[in-house]
Amino acid sequence: MMSIELHEPTLVWQVEQLADRIAQPVEQVLELAVRRYFDAIEQEAIHDETEAFWGMYEQLRAQYIGQYVALYQGSVVDHDADVSRLEQRMRERFGLLPVLIAPVEPAPPRELQWRGGRVEPMS
């Protein structure tokens, strides 16, 4: 098991204070903070990959129609008609790094627009 040390006194103090306030072990508070940090990084990366996917959708339709594509850092890194095989290759190649896998459909994406109105509660 790896041991990690914090050398920033203010950060150590903040972790200790929070752990004391919520009555949790310091290690548990630190583990949760790191997990949330990694989750935020992953969410941002998937958002960026999704934006890249939609930005190049017409090009993807011309090249990969009916298949799944895998995007990493804004580029197609692999594709396959079988999503399970593609997912397996991505896990082998990228491990836990965020890779977007999305279908390239023959029909253009539907755009939904809100034109106003009200949502009424059901009685």
Q: pLDDT (tens digit, 9 = 90+) per residue, 50-103?
A: 999 999 999 999 999 999 999 999 999 999 999 999 999 999 999 999 999 999
pLDDT band at 38 (very low <50, low <70, confident <90, very high): very high
Residue (of 37, 11, 13, 16) closest to 26 by Cα position: 16
Taking the CA atoms of the chain, what radius of gyration do you get in angstroms? 22
Q: Which residues pair with 102 in a beta bridge?
A: 69
Compute how many other C-beta atoms are within 10 angstroms of the C-beta atom of residue 76: 17
Structure tokens at 123: 């009685």
Confidence label for 119 from pLDDT (cuts 50, 70 and 90): low
pLDDT of residue 3: 82
- Report domain extents, the chain: 9-103
Cα–Cα dist 33/36, whole Å? 5
Beta bridge partners of 70: 78, 101
Residue 52's closest CA among 68, 75, 86? Answer: 75
